[in-house]
Chain A
């Protein structure tokens, strides 16, 4: 990680913002990614992941802020063939066969992979002779993957590469990706699957409502994500009072049972007993990853200082 402060070495996003009308898609994010890192942009739909990726690829112009890719602007990096991207949409060009389309994409780059190699790695070799208009959704996704890969660019950006793919297809996709990332490429991918981010990325950048709400090694984010939940029986509970306790991110009630999602359950527990002495049957447990993920991305409740 010695290069993480080297402003020419990797990806540097500085105070990057983009709005669409009144929707603030990306709100002044700062992010540095060192060469060779594999980073997951994790967040729910509407978090600003796609907008961020589009700006890094030069497809969308930021309202403010700057982007440096290996010391270049996005346009320069794209022109130099330093960037490969897999976008969420894009049906392969018509009147072409799969192999032809991947060859076409390869022809734009200075040092492309062998086309046959790219097709094999992405699992597209078996239908390489097929017309692009006759592909299934999963096959088209592999073609887009091959098109992103074949340029052998130093930076790969993948926007929800496994969206709409079945479990088996997802597993195969990440196997292929692992081989690529092992070759020293910088890989940034957007996903809303926590397991994917955890299994594949060195580092997770959690986005919500256009902001980065957490950023760290996958293990750290996972640990943080394993936030504690306090359960107890408290008839007629005052939810507002519970939420106001230190360390409590959210409070919920099911009948007489209250559930407190905590960023720090220890800090919450002590005043809880003092403020609500009638509480009983207290349990402290780890929440599920999905719960924690939702918790972390509920940005309105979070203090960015704490989460970062």
Chain B
């Protein structure tokens, strides 16, 4: 418990990081969506689409960010000091997952408030369904953050995390347009969790939830990434 508490405290104390993570998607949403309150996109109102997209964008950054903290701790050499204590891999991963979601939740909440202010109307179950799908769809991103944090040196990590999120966002349709709606490119997009994250808004409105394909994509990414994260965790004890 102490481990979790200090992990959260260390994240919260990193003020500049916290402010940027929370503010960036919010500012993007307000500046783009306020001029297109009455437009529609991909079958739903643009504010809802873009609110979901920016929530996904912000939350992806939030949940992948523990990777940066992990890489910094490794670079400092203290990770090796932790590794010779009885701290278990599960407890360490659990703490990182918890901090990831603790940062994602206010990111979502701020976007929801901004969306409501621009006229997004959803029923209580729709809000809940949207949130639930987003939290589930973020799981592979959380694990990816862990794996990269234990794998990459700290100076490579910032561009790697940023680049991956931007790429996933672009292919997932986060920026307000889709690169393709059919063909091989569309197949690639549909194989990414970010695509289904963006689709969560539409799914929540339609009431039907995700298609089976979405659940399979999210589960497959998670199942592949967890052992990768465990292996790089165990290997990350060499002297840096």
Q: Hey, which bits of chain A sit against chain B, CB under 8 A?
A: 54, 57-60, 78-81, 83-85, 87, 89-96, 100, 103-105, 107-110, 144, 147, 151
11 extra A-B contacts, CB within 8 A, seeds A78-B83, A78-B84, A96-B10? A78-B85, A80-B86, A87-B77, A87-B81, A87-B84, A90-B78, A91-B78, A93-B73, A108-B85, A108-B86, A144-B81
Q: Tell me how far the C-beta of A75 lies from the nearest C-beta in chain B, rounded to whole angstroms.
A: 10
Using A108-B85, A151-B85 as known contacts, say yes or no to A95 and B10 having CB atoms under 8 A apart: yes
Q: Which of B1-9, B104-112, B139-147 contacts A (4 or more CB under 8 A)?
A: B1-9
Instruction: State whether the Cβ of B190 lies closer than 8 Å to any Cβ in chain A.
Output: no
B76 adjacent to A95 (CB under 8 Å): no
Chain A residue numbers with a CB within 8 Å of B80 are: 59, 87, 89-90
Residue of B nearest to A59 (CB): B237
Tell me which residues across on chain B come within 8 A of A95, comparing CB atoms: 9-10, 13-14
**Which residues of chain A have C-beta atoms less than 8 A from B87's C-beta?**
108
Determine the chain B residues whose CB is within 8 A of the CB of A57 once the complex forms: 84
Residues of B within 8 A of A151 (CB): 85
Closest 3 CB pairs of A and B: A107-B2, A90-B77, A108-B85
Given contacts A93-B10, A96-B6, A103-B2, is CB(A85)–CB(B81) below 8 Å?
A: yes
> What total of A-B pairs shows CB separation below 8 Å?
78
Over the window 60-101 of chain B, the binary record of Cβ atoms lying under 8 Å from chain A Cβ atoms (1 yes, 0 no) is 000000000000110011101111111110000000000000
A281 CA / B97 CA spacing, docked (Å): 78
For chain B, the count of residues having a C-beta within 8 Å of the partner chain is: 26
Closest approach, in angstroms, between the C-beta of A142 and any C-beta of chain B? 14
The answer to whether A79 and B2 have CB atoms under 8 Å apart is no
- Asked whether A107 lies within 8 Å of B3 as measured between CB atoms, the reply is yes
Contact check, B86 vs A81: say whether CB atoms are below 8 A apart: yes
**Residue from A60, A84, A89, A95 whose CB has the most chain B CB atoms within 10 Å:** A95
Residue of A nearest to B240 (CB): A89
Q: State whether B6 touches A109 (Cβ < 8 A).
A: no
Q: A95-B14, A108-B85, A109-B85 are in contact. Are A100 and B77 (CB under 8 A)?
A: no
- The reply to whether A59 and B84 contact each other, CB–CB distance below 8 Å, is yes
Q: How far is the CA of A57 from the CA of B86 in the complex (A)?
A: 12
Q: Are B76 and A90 in contact (CB under 8 A)?
A: yes
* B85 CB contact (under 8 Å) in A60, A81, A89, A96: A81
Contact call A90/B81, Cβ cutoff below 8 A: yes
Chain A CB within 10 Å — which of B13, B82, B84, B237 has the most?
B84
A89-B239, A104-B3, A108-B3 given as contacts; is B84 within 8 A of A94 (CB)? no
Chain B, Cβ-Cβ closest to A81 = B86
Residues 6 to 28 of chain B near chain A (Cβ within 8 Å) = 6, 9-10, 13-14
Q: Is the CB of B238 closer than 8 A to any CB of chain A?
A: yes
By beta carbon, the residue of chain B nearest A157 is B84
Which single residue of chain A is at the shortest CB-CB distance from B11?
A: A95
A96 proximity list for chain B (CB < 8 A): 6, 9-10
Q: Which residues of B contact A108 (CB under 8 A)?
A: 3, 82, 85-87
A sample of 26 cross-chain residue pairs with beta-carbon separation below 8 angstroms, ordered by A number, consists of A54-B239, A58-B83, A58-B84, A60-B237, A60-B238, A84-B84, A89-B80, A90-B76, A90-B78, A91-B77, A92-B76, A93-B10, A93-B73, A93-B76, A93-B78, A94-B10, A94-B72, A95-B14, A96-B6, A100-B6, A104-B3, A105-B81, A105-B85, A107-B2, A107-B3, A108-B87
Give the docked Cα–Cα distance between A305 and B9 (Å).
57
Cβ–Cβ < 8 Å partners of B6 in chain A: 96, 100, 104
The distance in angstroms between the C-alpha atoms of A39 and B73, with both chains bound, is 31
User: Which residues does chain B contribute within 8 Å of A90, judged by CB atoms?
Assistant: 76-78, 80-81
Q: Report the minimal beta-carbon distance from B149 to chain A, rounded to whole angstroms.
A: 14
> Which residues on B sit within 8 Å (CB–CB) of A100?
6, 9
Within 8 Å CB of B1, what residues of A? 107
Q: Separation in Å of the A176 CB from the closest CB of chain B? A: 18
Tell me the nearest residue of chain B to A50, going by C-beta: B239
Residue of B nearest to A89 (CB): B77
Residues on A with beta carbons closer than 8 Å to the beta carbon of B84: 57-59, 78, 83-85, 87
Report the minimum CB–CB distance from B168 to chain A (whole Å).
Answer: 28
Q: Is the CB of A59 within 8 A of B83?
A: yes
Residues from chain A with a CB closer than 8 A to the CB of B88 are: 79
The CA of A14 and the CA of B34, in the complex, are separated in Å by: 71
Most buried by A among B2, B10, B82, B85: B85
Q: Within 8 Å CB of A79, what residues of B? A: 86, 88
Assembly CA distance A79 to B1 (angstroms): 17
Q: How far is the CA of A144 from the CA of B80 in the complex (A)?
A: 12
